[in-house]
């Protein structure tokens, strides 16, 4: 029975009206970290965790903050995110990590929503599953899509690095890379970077149990683990899109494509249950890869729908403010370059 540690059953996600969600070309996305700060009366800066309940208080007027209940934006009667006019929220990685939350890019336990985000101050046990389901329900009631920020390249203190390291992970000195297909990025002669964590293996196969079909055969166990992860989050938390962190660290385009296809198929099935045509469902699901070098082959091959275009932001922001971008001779050229960068596509 799905439950949180206190034994209380976790209810199934409420049936959301997919038709009420914005299409991909109508979204205004709010990227929301869960490490929050405030200035206490005594001065200085105090840092804490904005829990799932604090986030819900930014959406629903009858909800109240938990760890940050003293803020005006989390007080009853306020709907901060709705007032901004956003219609999609991307939570920085909400899967569980064992280290103190900063940006969240050190996932440890992929199948679980984060312990800290689900244990408000004063609680003796986490209610992360129930709280995240309620939060997503609140998003959908107000026509807001839920995006999951996904870390696929590596884990930090994940269970499989202690149970079966060589089958699931690879570790090496970047200055002396091994003759191993899992050591290299997609760019010629460039190795993968672990960013202080342990890289997953997505190329080398072994003969072992596959949880996706229940059989024993040759496959890459880390892939099967990640396919299980995305199905769990799609079914139990009704995600409406993916932001794939540092896809060059993943370095395996066919795996990225299979992962996003699994998520899209689960989303289509959710739409089908509501009588929504596949085209209408596809218009409300988006997979975005994050990589500052813009590896366009990911889009050309259809592995993701879009790429995080940070160079575009550098020109768009000053253009919106009527200013020149750094190094540009005029406002006209700022706008011109923003238009060129926005046109990157297949």
Q: Are residues 66 and 94 in the same domain?
A: yes
* 117 within a domain of the structure (yes/no): yes
Residues 44 and 94 in one domain: yes
In this structure, the answer to whether residues 44 and 106 fall within a common structural domain is yes
Which is more confident, 346 or 294?
A: 294
Gap between the Cα atoms of 179 and 291, Å rounded: 25
Q: Which of 54, 12, 67 is nearest to 235 (CA)?
A: 12
Per-residue pLDDT, averaged over 311-331, amounts to: 90
**pLDDT value for 101:** 65
Q: Do residues 292 and 336 share a domain?
A: no
Do 257 and 346 lie in a common domain?
Answer: no
Query: DSSP state, 75?
Result: S
Poorest-confidence range of 137-151, 295-309, 332-346? 332-346
Those residues with Cβ within 8 angstroms of residue 26's Cβ, 6 or more apart along the chain or in another chain? 87
* Domain coverage including residue 261: 18-152+235-308
257 in any annotated domain: yes
β-strand 241-245 against 215-219: which pairing, if any? unpaired
pLDDT value of residue 346: 42
Q: Give pTM, 2 decimals.
A: 0.91
The total domain count for the chain is 2
Q: Are 299 and 323 in a shared domain?
A: no
Which of 137-173 are b and which e, b meaning 16 or more Cβ less than 10 Å from the residue's Cβ? bbbbeeebbbbbbbbbbbbbebebbeeeeeebbbeee
Whether residue 269 is found in the same domain as residue 340: no
Say if 195 falls within a structural domain: no
Whether 277 maps to a domain, the answer reads: yes
Kindly state whether residue 176 falls inside one of the protein's structural domains.
Answer: no
Partnered with residue 224 across adjacent β-strands are: none
In the predicted model, is pLDDT for residue 345 greater than 60? Answer: no
Q: Residue 82 pLDDT more than 70?
A: yes
What's the CATH code of the domain at 282?
Answer: 3.20.20.80
Which alpha helices (DSSP H) does the chain contain, by range?
Answer: 52-56, 80-84, 128-141, 160-163, 165-168, 221-237, 247-250, 253-273, 278-282, 297-300, 310-320, 331-342
Looking at every residue in the chain, the average pLDDT score rounds to: 91
Least confident of 16-20, 27-31, 51-55: 16-20
What is the H or E stretch that residue 111 is in? strand 109-113
- Of all residues in the chain, the percent with pLDDT exceeding 70 is 98
200 falls within a domain: no
Q: What is the mean pLDDT of residues 315-338?
A: 91
Considering the domain architecture, whether residues 320 and 244 belong to the same structural domain is answered as no
Q: Residue 10 has what pLDDT?
A: 83
Residues 263 and 336 placed together within one structural domain of the fold: no
Decide if 55 is inside a domain: yes
Q: Are residues 58 and 113 in the same domain?
A: yes
Assess if residue 35 is contained within a domain. yes
Q: Which residue has the tokens 């997609």?
A: 186
Give the tokens for residue 8. 């209380």
Q: Which range among 38-42, 126-130, 139-143, 228-232 shows the weakest confidence by mean pLDDT?
A: 38-42
Instruction: Convert the pLDDT of each residue in 109-161 to its tens digit.
Output: 999 999 999 998 888 889 999 999 999 999 999 999 999 999 999 999 999 99
The pLDDT value recorded for residue 303 is 93
The tokens describing 330, both together, are 């005029």
Check residue 2 and give its pLDDT. 78
């Amino acid at each position: 029975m799905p439950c949180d540690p206190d034994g209380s059953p976790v209810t199934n996600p409420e049936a959301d009206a997919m038709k009420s969600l914005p299409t991909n070309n109508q979204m205004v996305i709010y990227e929301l970290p869960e490490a929050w700060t405030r200035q206490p009366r005594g001065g200085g800066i105090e840092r804490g965790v904005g829990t799932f309940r604090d986030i819900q208080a930014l959406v629903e007027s009858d909800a109240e903050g938990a760890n940050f209940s003293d803020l005006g934006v989390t007080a009853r009667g306020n709907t901060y995110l709705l007032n901004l006019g956003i219609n999609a929220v991307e939570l920085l990685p909400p899967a569980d990590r064992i280290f103190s939350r900063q940006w969240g890019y050190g996932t440890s336990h992929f199948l679980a929503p984060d312990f800290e985000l689900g244990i408000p101050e004063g609680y003796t046990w986490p209610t992360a599953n129930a709280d995240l389901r309620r939060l997503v329900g609140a998003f959908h009631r107000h026509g807001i899509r839920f995006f999951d920020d996904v870390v696929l390249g590596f884990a930090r203190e994940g269970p499989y690095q202690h149970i079966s390291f060589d089958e699931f992970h690879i570790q090496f000195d970047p200055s002396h890379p091994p003759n191993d297909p899992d050591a290299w990025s997609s760019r010629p002669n460039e190795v993968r970077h672990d960013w202080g964590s342990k890289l997953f293996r997505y190329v080398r196969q072994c003969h072992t149990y596959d949880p996706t079909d229940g059989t024993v055969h040759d496959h890459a166990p880390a892939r099967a683990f990640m396919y299980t992860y995305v199905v769990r989050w799609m079914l139990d938390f009704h995600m409406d899109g993916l932001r794939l962190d540092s896809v060059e660290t993943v370095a395996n385009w066919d795996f990225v494509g299979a992962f996003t296809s699994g998520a899209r198929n689960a989303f289509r099935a959710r739409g089908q249950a509501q009588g929504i045509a596949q085209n209408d469902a596809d218009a409300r699901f988006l997979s975005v890869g994050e990589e500052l070098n813009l590896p366009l082959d990911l889009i050309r091959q259809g592995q993701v729908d879009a790429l995080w275009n940070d160079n575009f932001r550098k020109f768009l922001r000053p253009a919106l403010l009527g200013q020149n971008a750094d190094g540009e001779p005029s406002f006209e050229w700022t706008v011109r370059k923003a238009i060129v960068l926005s046109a990157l596509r297949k």
